[in-house]
Amino acid sequence: MADPPVIERLLKRDRTITLAGLVVICAIAWTYLFAGAGMGMRPGTWLLPPAQPSAAASPTAGMEMADMDMGVAAPSSPRAWSLGLATLTLAMWWTMMIAMMTPAAAPTILLYARVHRHAQGQAQAQRALAPTGAFAAGYLLVWLAFSLVAAGLQLGLQRSGLVSSLTLSSQSRWLTGGALIAAGLYQLSPLQQACLGHCRAPGAFLARHWRPGAGGAVRLGVLHGAYCVGCCWLLMALLFVGGVMNLVWIAALAILVLGEKLLPGGVWIGRIAGAVLIAGGLATWLS
């Protein structure tokens, strides 16, 4: 059994331990995406032209083409194909959300770790790290729920032909323009600004919604995740515009979210981005 002074020294480094854990999580997520997220896609795949199936192709042939585009072998049962592809797509989306959103959430998670440690008595200090993990888990569970919806939407758009199964990007200028305009308008909306305000003020958020224990930590993480989704969900929909597996596009959106939430002028960054997105959507429709 370790001596109490050793345990105490380790706990005083909980910020470093938490930060290291978040860095590892992000590194694993980005590595998984770079490796193709299990979809048989390689970096640069999004630069290839969309597949052009012939007009006489049957629905079954279209499904087989989608399977080949995604690098997934078509099994004998359509139901098994759907389940396997849906699982991979869900994993891909959740990994993307972890890679993109964890850096923006890191300050709140680190502040939670510090506040929780100071809220505990010395006799309970050894349990200071567990609720921090519970808080992060609650946050990521919300993005899992979002990923479930996004994965279903992606598969539906692929089946309709609006999103290419090869590049995982929009093949319709109406979808592209509509997504850009919708995201831009939402960036300027009161609801987005209210959610962004909670994300930009982690101290006030924790003071208002604090609950003790691991259960309270999960609840707090879920609530923070809900505000985060409320702030960014339409920006995430822009992945259908630039390509769901376009790592450059993913990184650009992640940087936008990071700047909007953490920089002193983040509110104006979001508003300027909204205006640019609206202009881009209108230009797409008029082109």
What distance in Å separates the CA atoms of residue 41 and residue 44, rounded to the nearest whole number?
Answer: 8
The answer, yes or no, to whether residue 149 has pLDDT greater than 70, is yes
The alpha carbons of the chain give a radius of gyration, in whole angstroms, of 21
Asked if the model's pLDDT at residue 68 lies above 70, the reply is no
Taking the C-alpha atoms of residue 193 and residue 180, their distance in angstroms, rounded to an integer, is 18
Question: In the structure, what pLDDT confidence band is assigned to residue 39 with cuts at 50, 70 and 90?
Answer: low
pLDDT top residue among 39 and 111: 111
Q: Which residue has tokens 């979002």?
A: 146
pLDDT at 174: 94
**In the prediction, which pLDDT does 131 show?**
81
Nearest CA among 180, 164, 122, 130 for reference residue 21: 130
Q: How many angstroms separate the CA atoms of 29 and 194, rounded?
A: 29
- Farthest-apart Cα atoms in the chain, separation: 75
How large is the average pLDDT for residues 38-49?
Answer: 51
Is 90 exceeded by the pLDDT of residue 141?
A: yes
Picking from 73-87, 130-144, 262-276, which range would have the lowest pLDDT averaged per residue? Answer: 73-87
Report the pLDDT value the prediction gives residue 270, as an integer from 0 to 100.
93
Give pTM, 2 decimals.
0.78
- Looking at per-residue pLDDT, the higher value among 32 and 250 belongs to 250
For the chain, percent of residues with pLDDT exceeding 90: 41
In the predicted structure, residue 151 carries a pLDDT above the cut 90 = yes
Mean per-residue pLDDT, 204-227 = 90
Residue predicted with more confidence, 245 or 89 = 89
Confidence of residue 287 (pLDDT cuts 50, 70, 90): confident
Is the pLDDT assigned to residue 75 strictly greater than 70? no
Is residue 56 predicted with pLDDT exceeding 60? no
* Dihedral sign computed on CA atoms, order 233, 237, 242, 247: positive
Mean pLDDT of 148-176: 91
Write the CB contacts of 213 (distance below 8 Å, at least 6 apart in sequence): 131
pLDDT above 70 (res 266): yes
Q: Is 16 exposed, middle or buried (0-12, 13-18, 19+ CB in 10 A)?
A: exposed
State phi, psi for 71 to the nearest 5 degrees.
75, 20
DSSP 265: T
pLDDT of 121 reads 55
